[in-house]
Protein backbone atom coordinates (compact mmCIF):
# COMPACT_ATOMS: atom_id res chain seq x y z
CA UNK A 1 0.00 0.00 0.00
CA UNK A 2 2.79 2.40 0.95
CA UNK A 3 4.86 1.48 -2.14
CA UNK A 4 1.91 2.25 -4.42
CA UNK A 5 1.58 5.74 -2.93
CA UNK A 6 5.27 6.39 -3.55
CA UNK A 7 4.58 5.66 -7.21
CA UNK A 8 4.11 8.64 -9.52
CA UNK A 9 1.07 7.13 -11.25
CA UNK A 10 -2.16 8.70 -10.00
CA UNK A 11 -4.15 5.79 -11.48
CA UNK A 12 -2.10 3.32 -9.43
CA UNK A 13 -2.62 5.39 -6.27
CA UNK A 14 -6.40 5.55 -6.73
CA UNK A 15 -6.60 1.86 -7.63
CA UNK A 16 -4.59 0.85 -4.58
CA UNK A 17 -6.58 3.11 -2.26
CA UNK A 18 -9.93 1.73 -3.45
CA UNK A 19 -8.76 -1.90 -3.42
CA UNK A 20 -7.19 -1.48 0.04
CA UNK A 21 -10.32 0.19 1.41
CA UNK A 22 -12.56 -2.56 0.08
CA UNK A 23 -10.28 -5.23 1.56
CA UNK A 24 -10.20 -3.55 4.98
CA UNK A 25 -13.99 -3.11 5.00
CA UNK A 26 -14.56 -6.74 4.01
CA UNK A 27 -12.28 -7.95 6.80
CA UNK A 28 -13.92 -5.64 9.35
CA UNK A 29 -17.51 -6.51 8.45
CA UNK A 30 -16.71 -10.19 7.96
CA UNK A 31 -14.87 -10.73 11.23
CA UNK A 32 -15.31 -7.92 13.74
CA UNK A 33 -18.50 -5.94 13.17
CA UNK A 34 -21.41 -6.53 15.54
CA UNK A 35 -23.72 -5.84 12.58
CA UNK A 36 -22.64 -9.04 10.82
CA UNK A 37 -21.64 -11.22 13.79
CA UNK A 38 -25.27 -12.28 14.35
CA UNK A 39 -25.62 -13.36 10.71
CA UNK A 40 -22.44 -15.44 10.88
CA UNK A 41 -23.58 -17.18 14.09
CA UNK A 42 -27.02 -17.78 12.55
CA UNK A 43 -25.43 -19.31 9.46
CA UNK A 44 -23.28 -21.62 11.59
CA UNK A 45 -26.31 -22.83 13.53
CA UNK A 46 -28.32 -23.45 10.33
CA UNK A 47 -25.51 -25.42 8.69
CA UNK A 48 -24.97 -27.52 11.84
CA UNK A 49 -28.70 -28.09 12.52
CA UNK A 50 -30.47 -31.32 11.56
CA UNK A 51 -33.38 -29.43 10.04
CA UNK A 52 -33.47 -26.28 7.94
CA UNK A 53 -37.09 -25.40 8.75
CA UNK A 54 -36.12 -22.75 11.29
CA UNK A 55 -37.65 -19.34 10.80
CA UNK A 56 -34.73 -17.04 10.05
CA UNK A 57 -33.16 -15.72 6.90
CA UNK A 58 -30.38 -18.32 6.57
CA UNK A 59 -32.76 -21.24 7.03
CA UNK A 60 -35.24 -19.76 4.57
CA UNK A 61 -32.44 -19.14 2.07
CA UNK A 62 -31.41 -22.80 2.21
CA UNK A 63 -35.05 -23.79 1.63
CA UNK A 64 -35.29 -21.54 -1.43
CA UNK A 65 -32.06 -23.01 -2.84
CA UNK A 66 -33.32 -26.55 -2.31
CA UNK A 67 -36.60 -25.70 -4.03
CA UNK A 68 -34.86 -23.95 -6.93
CA UNK A 69 -32.63 -27.00 -7.47
CA UNK A 70 -35.73 -29.20 -7.60
CA UNK A 71 -37.29 -26.86 -10.17
CA UNK A 72 -34.07 -26.91 -12.22
CA UNK A 73 -34.11 -30.73 -12.24
CA UNK A 74 -37.63 -30.61 -13.71
CA UNK A 75 -36.72 -28.19 -16.56
CA UNK A 76 -32.93 -28.11 -17.03
CA UNK A 77 -32.77 -27.23 -20.73
CA UNK A 78 -35.37 -24.52 -21.33
CA UNK A 79 -36.18 -23.51 -17.75
CA UNK A 80 -39.62 -22.76 -16.40
CA UNK A 81 -39.99 -19.34 -18.00
CA UNK A 82 -39.76 -15.90 -16.42
CA UNK A 83 -43.52 -15.60 -16.05
CA UNK A 84 -44.01 -18.98 -14.40
CA UNK A 85 -40.95 -19.47 -12.24
CA UNK A 86 -42.29 -17.76 -9.12
CA UNK A 87 -45.56 -19.72 -9.26
CA UNK A 88 -43.66 -22.98 -9.69
CA UNK A 89 -41.31 -22.15 -6.80
CA UNK A 90 -44.29 -21.33 -4.57
CA UNK A 91 -45.87 -24.71 -5.45
CA UNK A 92 -42.65 -26.47 -4.42
CA UNK A 93 -42.56 -24.47 -1.16
CA UNK A 94 -46.11 -25.65 -0.41
CA UNK A 95 -45.32 -29.28 -1.31
CA UNK A 96 -42.26 -29.31 0.94
CA UNK A 97 -44.05 -27.59 3.82
CA UNK A 98 -41.87 -24.46 3.78
CA UNK A 99 -44.66 -22.25 5.16
CA UNK A 100 -42.62 -19.12 5.85
CA UNK A 101 -41.16 -18.82 2.37
CA UNK A 102 -44.49 -19.93 0.88
CA UNK A 103 -46.23 -17.03 2.63
CA UNK A 104 -43.51 -14.58 1.57
CA UNK A 105 -43.42 -15.99 -2.01
CA UNK A 106 -39.65 -15.59 -2.17
CA UNK A 107 -37.48 -15.97 -5.26
CA UNK A 108 -34.50 -18.38 -5.29
CA UNK A 109 -32.19 -15.97 -3.40
CA UNK A 110 -29.31 -16.97 -5.67
CA UNK A 111 -29.00 -15.31 -9.07
CA UNK A 112 -27.35 -18.34 -10.66
CA UNK A 113 -30.12 -20.70 -9.51
CA UNK A 114 -32.79 -18.13 -10.37
CA UNK A 115 -31.48 -17.67 -13.91
CA UNK A 116 -31.14 -21.43 -14.38
CA UNK A 117 -34.70 -22.02 -13.14
CA UNK A 118 -36.04 -19.11 -15.25
CA UNK A 119 -34.40 -19.73 -18.61
CA UNK A 120 -32.45 -22.99 -18.39
CA UNK A 121 -28.86 -23.98 -18.83
CA UNK A 122 -28.06 -21.47 -21.60
CA UNK A 123 -28.96 -18.52 -19.34
CA UNK A 124 -26.89 -20.03 -16.54
CA UNK A 125 -23.85 -20.45 -18.79
CA UNK A 126 -24.22 -16.92 -20.20
CA UNK A 127 -24.46 -15.42 -16.70
CA UNK A 128 -21.32 -17.26 -15.61
CA UNK A 129 -19.49 -16.11 -18.76
CA UNK A 130 -20.63 -12.48 -18.30
CA UNK A 131 -18.81 -12.53 -14.97
CA UNK A 132 -15.96 -14.95 -15.63
CA UNK A 133 -14.65 -13.70 -18.99
CA UNK A 134 -14.17 -10.04 -17.90
CA UNK A 135 -12.84 -11.23 -14.53
CA UNK A 136 -10.07 -13.18 -16.26
CA UNK A 137 -9.32 -10.25 -18.59
CA UNK A 138 -9.30 -7.75 -15.70
CA UNK A 139 -7.03 -10.02 -13.67
CA UNK A 140 -4.64 -10.29 -16.62
CA UNK A 141 -4.67 -6.49 -17.09
CA UNK A 142 -4.34 -5.95 -13.33
CA UNK A 143 -7.50 -3.82 -13.17
CA UNK A 144 -8.12 -4.13 -9.44
CA UNK A 145 -11.30 -2.05 -9.43
CA UNK A 146 -13.03 -4.20 -12.06
CA UNK A 147 -11.80 -7.39 -10.35
CA UNK A 148 -13.15 -6.17 -7.00
CA UNK A 149 -16.48 -5.16 -8.56
CA UNK A 150 -16.97 -8.52 -10.28
CA UNK A 151 -16.00 -10.47 -7.15
CA UNK A 152 -18.31 -8.44 -4.92
CA UNK A 153 -21.24 -8.72 -7.34
CA UNK A 154 -20.53 -12.42 -7.90
CA UNK A 155 -20.48 -13.11 -4.16
CA UNK A 156 -23.74 -11.19 -3.73
CA UNK A 157 -25.29 -13.20 -6.57
CA UNK A 158 -24.57 -16.34 -4.54
CA UNK A 159 -26.96 -15.22 -1.78
CA UNK A 160 -29.38 -12.86 -3.56
CA UNK A 161 -31.16 -12.74 -6.91
CA UNK A 162 -29.47 -9.41 -7.64
CA UNK A 163 -30.71 -8.75 -11.17
CA UNK A 164 -34.27 -9.94 -10.49
CA UNK A 165 -35.12 -6.54 -9.03
CA UNK A 166 -34.89 -3.26 -10.93
CA UNK A 167 -32.48 -1.60 -8.47
CA UNK A 168 -30.01 -4.49 -8.73
CA UNK A 169 -30.27 -4.75 -12.50
CA UNK A 170 -29.68 -1.00 -12.99
CA UNK A 171 -26.78 -0.94 -10.50
CA UNK A 172 -25.09 -3.94 -12.11
CA UNK A 173 -25.60 -2.80 -15.71
CA UNK A 174 -24.52 0.81 -15.08
CA UNK A 175 -21.36 0.19 -13.08
CA UNK A 176 -20.35 -2.87 -15.06
CA UNK A 177 -20.62 -0.92 -18.32
CA UNK A 178 -18.73 2.07 -16.90
CA UNK A 179 -15.89 -0.08 -15.56
CA UNK A 180 -15.62 -2.11 -18.77
CA UNK A 181 -15.64 1.10 -20.84
CA UNK A 182 -12.94 2.64 -18.63
CA UNK A 183 -10.75 -0.42 -19.17
CA UNK A 184 -11.28 -0.28 -22.93
CA UNK A 185 -10.28 3.42 -23.02
CA UNK A 186 -7.11 2.65 -21.05
CA UNK A 187 -6.26 -0.15 -23.48
CA UNK A 188 -6.74 2.15 -26.48
CA UNK A 189 -4.62 4.84 -24.85
CA UNK A 190 -1.82 2.36 -24.12
CA UNK A 191 -1.88 1.06 -27.70
CA UNK A 192 -1.87 4.64 -29.01
CA UNK A 193 1.20 5.50 -26.94
CA UNK A 194 3.15 2.54 -28.34
- Give the Cα separation of 111 and 178 in Å (integer): 22
Percent of the chain with pLDDT over 70: 73
Does the pLDDT at position 17 exceed 80? no
> 132-168, pLDDT tens digit by residue?
999 998 888 888 889 999 999 999 999 999 998 899 9
Q: What is the pTM of this model?
A: 0.71
64 neighbors 89 (Cβ within 8 angstroms): yes
Asked whether 128 and 78 are in contact (CB, 8 A), the reply is no
Cα–Cα distance between 53 and 62 in angstroms, integer? 9
Residue 40, classed as helix, strand or coil, is helix
Structure letter (DSSP) for residue 28: I
Cα distance between residue 148 and residue 139, in whole Å: 10
Amino acid sequence: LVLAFKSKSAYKKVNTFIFGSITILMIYFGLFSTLTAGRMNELKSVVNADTTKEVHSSGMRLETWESALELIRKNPIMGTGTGDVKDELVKIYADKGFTEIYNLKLNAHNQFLQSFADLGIIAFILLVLVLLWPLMAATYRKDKILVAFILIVGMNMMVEAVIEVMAGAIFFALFYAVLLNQQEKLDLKQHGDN
